């Protein structure tokens, strides 16, 4: 049996420990916990609830307003007429009930339209937050798996180097190798120890990032099944994804709604020049107590009135004109923000599409490189046994194999994440996509 087999078995054993954890949670379970515990998503949910109230607030300016005002007054009076004096007191009370129905208030109508647009904008922002949560959860999940794979690779490499170090020492003792082989193996082992410390630190950092999302330590995570096949984007044309991103992206939709709101704000400010007409109905009640000097007897009076009130603004010190100019400038700023959102969405779609396409090519190349590197390691170890290869050749072959496996694992994770980002750029990312990804994990 070639001496590469123990090293490969050691690598497989370490990977098996990480690949088959007991009571491991999968991607969907982590996502469900994030829905309940992620503070960013919770903030977005409350923002949506607050934004939905804008419609009611805007409609309030179009429906009748009812107000009730009242008073209660107690009066005391002292009279001094010649040698005589007297005191009197009286109590008066009353109330006025007023109903006002706007008939012509153009500014209120524009505020109502803005309220409806604000609700739609809040919904678009929340939909984007949902997609962002899916991507953030998947990114944090696969970052942990990638860090664990890197740690497993270093540990397996240390096992293989330890075997090679022991072999170099034995060969030196019997005189079939030089002390240089031992020093080279020892140097590689010391380097692997340093790499293991860094890999352990990276695992803890990645786990902390996942904990920040779900609010607790995640425990063991289900890994990808070995030998999974990654699918290409559908449709396979990048231009279609870019077009969808420019028109359907929630960030773009939100900026489109923001532009409409800004244009409505221009009209609302311009409406300050227009007349207003209201229907006003009042009912008044007065109960004037007695006695008093002017009213010797008690008075009880009721009055009802219905009428139309109108107001024509004439001059306001150029304040209205200034607010109109301000709202026009803000609308143009929003138009620029919309264009930037379109370009950003298109760029994200291009980058993600290329990330998936190039990632698939990289995975295929690394899969072939893994087979070649494994064959190269076996050949070098066999050559070392018969004396046609030196120790550094074996160490280099081991390093190449383990680095290739680490890079292959990382390439798979990056390709899957880019696939989610691509759908998110076109606002097509759903929880079903996460469930499909979860199906690639080991049960």
Per residue in 157-202, pLDDT tens?
888 788 778 877 887 777 766 788 788 878 888 888 898 999 999 9
H or E stretch including 307? strand 299-311
Residue whose entry in the numeric block shows the structure tokens 């098996």: 16
Residue whose entry in the numeric block shows the structure tokens 């609302």: 268
The three-class DSSP label of residue 300 is: strand
What are the phi and psi torsion angles at 51 (to 5°)? -65, -30
- Output the CA torsion sign for 378, 380, 382, 384: negative
Q: What integer pLDDT is reported at residue 164 of this predicted model?
A: 76
Superfamily grouping for domain 4-62+105-274+313-438:
Outer membrane efflux proteins (OEP) (1.20.1600.10)
The structural domains of the chain, with segments of one domain joined by +, span 4-62+105-274+313-438, 65-104+275-312
Residue 94 has pLDDT above 60, yes or no: yes
Exposure of 128 in the CB half-sphere (CA atoms within 13 A) = 19
Residue 218 has pLDDT above 90, yes or no: no
Q: How many CB atoms lie within 10 A of CB 272?
A: 16
258 touches 121 (CB < 8 A): yes
H or E stretch including 284? strand 276-288
Which tops the pLDDT comparison, 70 or 179?
70
Residue 430 has pLDDT above 60, yes or no: yes
Closest by Cα among 363, 401, 394 to 12: 401
Average pLDDT over the chain reads: 87
pTM as predicted:
0.83
49 touches 228 (CB < 8 A): no
351 touches 238 (CB < 8 A): no
- 316-369: per-residue pLDDT in tens? 889 999 999 999 999 999 999 999 999 999 999 999 999 999 999 999 999 999
Confidence of residue 33 (pLDDT cuts 50, 70, 90): very high
Q: Which long-range contacts (CB under 8 A, 24 or more apart) does 259-262 make?
A: 259/331, 259/334, 259/335, 259/338, 260/117, 261/114, 261/117, 261/118, 261/121, 262/327, 262/330, 262/331, 262/334
Q: Which CATH class is domain 65-104+275-312?
A: mainly beta
């Amino acid at each position: 049996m070639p001496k590469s087999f123990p090293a490969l078995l050691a690598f497989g054993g370490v990977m098996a420990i990480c690949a088959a954890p007991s009571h491991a949670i999968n991607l969907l379970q982590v996502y469900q916990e994030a829905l309940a515990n992620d503070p960013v998503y919770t903030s977005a949910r409350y923002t949506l609830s607050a934004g939905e109230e804008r419609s009611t607030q805007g409609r309030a300016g179009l429906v009748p307003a009812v107000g009730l005002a009242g008073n209660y007054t107690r009066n005391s009076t002292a009279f001094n007429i010649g040698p005589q004096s007297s005191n009197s007191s009286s109590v008066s009370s009353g109330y006025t009930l007023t109903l006002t129905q706007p008939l012509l208030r153009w500014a209120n109508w524009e505020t109502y339209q803005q309220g409806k647009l604000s609700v739609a904008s809040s919904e678009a922002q929340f939909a984007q937050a949902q997609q962002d949560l899916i991507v953030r959860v998947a990114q944090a999940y696969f970052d942990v798996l990638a860090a664990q794979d890197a740690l497993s690779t270093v540990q397996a490499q240390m096992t293989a180097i330890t075997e090679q170090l022991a072999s170099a020492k034995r060969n030196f003792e019997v005189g079939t190798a030089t002390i240089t082989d031992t020093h080279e193996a020892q140097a590689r082992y010391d380097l692997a120890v340093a790499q293991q410390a860094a890999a352990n630190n990276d695992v803890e950092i990645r786990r902390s990032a996942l904990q920040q999302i779900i609010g607790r330590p995640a425990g063991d995570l289900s890994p990808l099944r070995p030998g999974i096949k990654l699918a290409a984007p559908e449709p396979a044309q990048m231009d279609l994804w870019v077009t969808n991103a420019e028109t359907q992206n929630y960030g773009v939709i939100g900026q489109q709604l923001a532009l409409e709101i800004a244009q409505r704000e221009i009209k609302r400010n311009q409406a300050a020049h227009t007349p207003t007409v209201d229907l006003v109905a009042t009912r008044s009640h007065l109960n004037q107590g007695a006695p008093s000097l002017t009213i010797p007897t008690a008075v009880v009076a009721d009055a009802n009135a219905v009428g139309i009130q109108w107001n024509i603004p004439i001059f306001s010190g150029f304040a209205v004109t200034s607010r109109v100019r301000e709202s026009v400038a803000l609308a143009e700023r929003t138009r620029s923000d919309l264009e930037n959102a379109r370009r950003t969405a298109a760029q994200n779609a291009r980058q993600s599409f290329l990330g998936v396409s190039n990632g698939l090519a990289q995975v295929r190349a690394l899969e072939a490189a893994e087979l070649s590197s494994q064959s190269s390691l076996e050949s070098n170890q066999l050559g070392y046994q018969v004396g046609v290869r030196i120790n550094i050749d074996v160490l280099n072959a081991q390093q190449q194999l383990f680095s290739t496996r680490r890079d292959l694992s990382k390439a798979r994770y990056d390709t899957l994440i880019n696939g989610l980002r691509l759908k998110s750029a076109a606002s097509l990312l759903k929880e079903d996509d996460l469930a499909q990804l979860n199906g690639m994990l080991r049960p």
